[in-house]
Structures are given as structure tokens and as C-alpha cells.
Amino acid sequence: MSIYPEAAKRLLAFINASPTPFHAVQNAAIRLEAAGFSKIRETDDWDLQPRSKYYYTRNQTCLIAFTTPSNWRPGTGVSIVATHVDSPNLRVRPVSKKSNLGYLQVGIETYGGGIWHSWFDRDLSLAGRVIVVQRDGTFRSKLVKIDRPLLRIPSLAIHLDRNVNDSFKFNQESEFTPIFGLVESELNDVKVQGASAPSGQMKHHPALLLVLSEELSVAPEEIRDFELHLYDTQPSVLGGVNNEFIFSPRLDNQFSSYCAVEAIATYAENPSFMEFVGNVNCVALFNHEEIGSVSTTGAESSLIPSLLQRLSPEPASYSQSVSRSFLVSADMGHAVHPNYSSKHEENHRPIINGGMVIKTNAKQRYASDAISTFLFRKLVEQRGGKVQEFEVRNDMACGSTVGPMLSKIGLRTVDVGNAMLSMHSIRETGGSHDVQHAVDAFSSFFDGFSKLDGDLLID
């Protein structure tokens, strides 16, 4: 019997509509506005009120959303679920025009630590943002998503590389450039020949500018600049004999991002929200986690400190707020692999659809400790859920995420995620039932943290 978890189907729709961080932030904002959140801007004065819902973005690539409880005042704690919306991918270079042996090619740069061999022989396309000039002389950033396959990185036939199945290695600069078309077709296309850049400097193929202009309904010469990412056009789907799996790109970490947004939106839509007493509840969708988070939109930026300061502007109230706050750092975790079980410590082997994974590392690559682990476990159990434990083997390096970075502010932190396979592949595998597990866990956090924290004596 096939099962179709509703939460998983909504996640698929989110991922399929979000090939880039730009699109993920836009789609998160759409969901929040549907739940009654009002957009504010960092450049404005904030007139915050209790029983209210707000969100703001920075540079179209990160988002902060928060709700104020009925008892809100400076010094109130903040309960934060932090995720990231970037994933390893390929990005078009500022000067991308290449050709070789009759092929049009597009110069790309790798982003993050991808399993790059998985990008070969995939139907790739382009998405991102484009700066266009408008009729009144102003400029606007528009999002673009080309649905049809445009590019491909072809592998070399086995007849020309008989050892390919023994050791597949390639040069990421010279043997990893996608093909975009044939030179002859561009030369013979009248429309392409009419497409030109305003500066006259042809940094990109005219055919590329034409594709973008047609998608955006603008003239090629109105395009001033762009940031474009390559993505796999094969959609996210449910899979497995009982649809227990999700086969998808970008599960790390749009999975957690979607669940965090859905949890705070659902919480804010509940009529009981107006009478809620407790912390400010918040979700933070960061950019650039895959390359270290050191940017204006990453977890090590001013985003969270700035929010805390604007909620509690005086030094004393700021310190009180930090001490009352709690961070759930949500990023995907490694499920035990049936073909490589030795890669996991024998007592720490999370499974897909087995519930939330708490990640621990004595060297503080994860920020979980006994207190934060206890609190999160109790909140999950209050919704009838269960947790799994992950700790890396002593003979393997441990990854990290946004938790340790944000814990430096003084926030109590737990690092969690959901178990998945093939992390950083162009096609990853997650659990369809884990979507609801994550939404339930974050919802319990928003509903119940303050009361549970008040029942715990530490210092």
C-alpha cells in the first residue's frame, strides 16, 4: 500500500520551486505572508507590538521571521530555529563565454563541497537573479528560473577511458565545463545575433542573454548583471515501495528550512497565538553555510545579534534576553548506509524516518550538551515523537553547521537534523515521514520551550 504523507508533498513543492537561495527565501516569504506575517525592513524604525508577526530579508538570500508573545517586553527570551538555504552547486562565472571544437560552453565555478561526479550527464538548467533596467531608469532585481534543460556536463565514453569504473577522476577546471549548444546554431540564429550586452563587452554568449530576456520578457540590452546557478531539472519526488523516501536535490538544507517555516507559520495561524505567553519565537534561514557562513547573510553575520539588540536595546535587557533564549540549529544528518555501515560509530546509527537526530561532538563541532539535549528530547516527546543520537567515529573528521557559530553569542544550543543518504550529491535521499517529525518537533519547541525551561534548575 502506497502512503502519501501530506507534509512531504508540500516539501516537494517547495524544493521544486526553489532551485536557488533566492527562490527559497521568496517562497518562504510567501508562506509567511499567507500566515499573517508583516514584512519589515532593517533600514526602517521598528514599532514592534505584542501579539504580532514580522519577517525581513537581507540581500534576497536570508530571512528572519519572528512572533511577539502577549507578554513581550525588552528582555524577553528568543526561541530560534536556525537553518540554511544554500546547497553545493555550480555557479556561472562573471565572464562565462567559452567555446571549444564547435561547442558553446558556459564557464562555471564550484560552490561548497559537492559530490561533483554526480553532476555529470544530468539535464541542467539555470536559475537565479537578474538586474534589469526599467523604463523610468531605475533598476530591479528579478528572479528567473528556466524550466527546460539547457546545459549538460557529458562524461567520456567508456571506449575512450577503459579504467573509468576503477577510478573516476577529473579536472574540475578543464574537464567539468558544461556544453550549452553548438557554435553553428548561434551563428545562424538571427535573434541571437541581435542580442547584445549594453556595454558592448560580450562576457556571456548572446544566446544566454536571449534565453534570459525571453524568460523575463525584457530586451537583452536591458539586462545589466546576474547571478545564475545551475540546477538539475529532474523534480523532487516520493520514492520507495511505500513512498517512504524522498529523492531530491537540495534536501541539505531546504528540508529543515521548509519545516521551520511551516512550523512557525502554523503556530502563528492558531487562534491561541494571541494569548501565548513565553519567548519570542523565531526562524532564521541563513545563506553561505556550505562555505563557512562568513558573509553578510551567513550565520556569523550581524543578523541574530542585530535582532536581539533591536528586541532588547538596553545592555541589561539584552543580557537577560540572551540568558532566556535557546537555539535549535537544524541541519540534515547522516543516516547509516546499508552498504557502508562501518562509516558510523556502532551505537550512533540514525535511520531514515526514525525521528529527529541530535548531533553531539565533544570537540564542539556541534554545540549540543546534556542540558540542551534534554530540553529538545522532552519537547519532541511531548508531541509523541522520538529522537536518535549521532556522534562521529574517533577516526573520522566531524562536520559542523551554524550551531557552534551562534552559540558564541551566549545562546544555549542544540544541533539537530533528520537522517538522509547521499548528502551533497545532486540527488539526495531523505525520509517522507521525517518531514512531519521535524514540523512537530519545531512546533513543540515554539509552544512549550518557555514552560519547560522554567521547570529546569541549572545555575
SS3 for the chain is CCCCCHHHHHHHHHHHCCCCHHHHHHHHHHHHHHCCCEECCCCCCCCCCCCEEEEEEECCCEEEEEEECCCCCCCCCEEEEEEECCCCEEEEEEEEEEEECCEEEEEEEEECCCCHHHHCCCCEEEEEEEEEECCCCCEEEEEEECCCCCEECCCCCHHHCCCCCCCCCCCCCCCCCCEEEEHHHHHHCHHHHHCCCCCCCCCCCHHHHHHHHHHHCCCHHHEEEEEEEEEECCCCEEECCCCCEEEECCHHHHHHHHHHHHHHHHHHHCHHHHHCCCCEEEEEEECCHHHCCCCCCCCCCCHHHHHHHHHCCCHHHHHHHHHHCEEEEECCEECCCCCCHHHCCCCCCCCCCCCEEEECCCCCCCCCCHHHHHHHHHHHHHCCCCEEEECCCCCCCCCCCHHHHHHCCCCEEEEEECEEECCCCCCEEEECCHHHHHHHHHHHHHHHHHHHHHCCCCC
In a domain, 143, yes or no: yes
Nearest to 121 by CA among 157, 160, 159, 91: 157
The grid cell for 450 is 518557555
Q: Is the same domain home to 382 and 314?
A: yes
Of 232, 260, 287, at which residue does a domain stop? Answer: 232
Q: What are the tens digits of pLDDT across the range 66-81?
A: 999 999 999 999 999 9
Q: Is the same domain home to 17 and 152?
A: no
Nearest to 387 by CA among 379, 378, 377: 377
Measure the CA–CA gap between 84 and 283, rounded to whole angstroms.
10
Q: What are the tens digits of pLDDT across the range 135-158?
A: 999 999 999 999 999 999 999 999
Q: Which domain holds residue 51?
A: 6-87+249-455
Q: Is the same domain home to 288 and 385?
A: yes
- Residues sharing a CB contact under 8 Å with residue 107, sequence separation 6 or more, in sequence order: 92, 93, 95, 96, 97, 98, 177
What local confidence, expressed as pLDDT, does residue 362 receive? 96
Q: Is the same domain home to 228 and 256?
A: no
309 by Cβ neighbours in 10 Å (0-12 / 13-18 / 19+) ranks as middle
In a domain, 294, yes or no: yes
What local confidence, expressed as pLDDT, does residue 200 receive? 45
Q: Is the same domain home to 140 and 126?
A: yes
What local confidence, expressed as pLDDT, does residue 1 receive? 46
What local confidence, expressed as pLDDT, does residue 184 receive? 83
Of 205, 232, 259, at which residue does a domain stop? Answer: 232
Q: What are the tens digits of pLDDT across the range 191-234?
A: 666 555 555 458 999 999 999 999 999 999 999 999 999 999 99
Q: What are the tens digits of pLDDT across the range 277-291?
A: 999 999 999 999 999
In a domain, 414, yes or no: yes
Q: How many domains does the chain have?
A: 2
Q: Is the same domain home to 311 and 415?
A: yes
Measure the CA–CA gap between 284 and 161, rounded to whole angstroms.
47
Measure the CA–CA gap between 322 and 288, rounded to whole angstroms.
24
Amino acid at 198: P
Task: Write out residues in the chain with pLDDT < 50, as ranges.
Answer: 1, 200
Mean pLDDT of the chain: 95
What local confidence, expressed as pLDDT, does residue 422 receive? 98
Of 232, 262, 293, at which residue does a domain stop? Answer: 232
Q: Is the same domain home to 83 and 98?
A: no
Q: What is the CATH number of the domain that holds 221?
A: 2.30.250.10
Q: Is the same domain home to 41 and 134?
A: no
Q: Are strands 412-417 and 356-359 parallel, antiparallel or unpaired?
A: antiparallel
Q: Is the same domain home to 188 and 280?
A: no
In a domain, 271, yes or no: yes
In a domain, 238, yes or no: no
In a domain, 239, yes or no: no
Q: What is the CATH number of the domain that holds 66?
A: 3.40.630.10
Q: Is the same domain home to 193 and 223?
A: yes
What local confidence, expressed as pLDDT, does residue 240 receive? 96
Q: Is the same domain home to 171 and 292?
A: no
Q: Is the same domain home to 262 and 383?
A: yes
Measure the CA–CA gap between 288 and 294, rounded to whole angstroms.
7
- Which residue, chain included where needed, has cell 544530468? 122
In a domain, 46, yes or no: yes
In a domain, 244, yes or no: no
* Secondary structure, 3-state, 364-428: CCCCCCHHHHHHHHHHHHHCCCCEEEECCCCCCCCCCCHHHHHHCCCCEEEEEECEEECCCCCCE
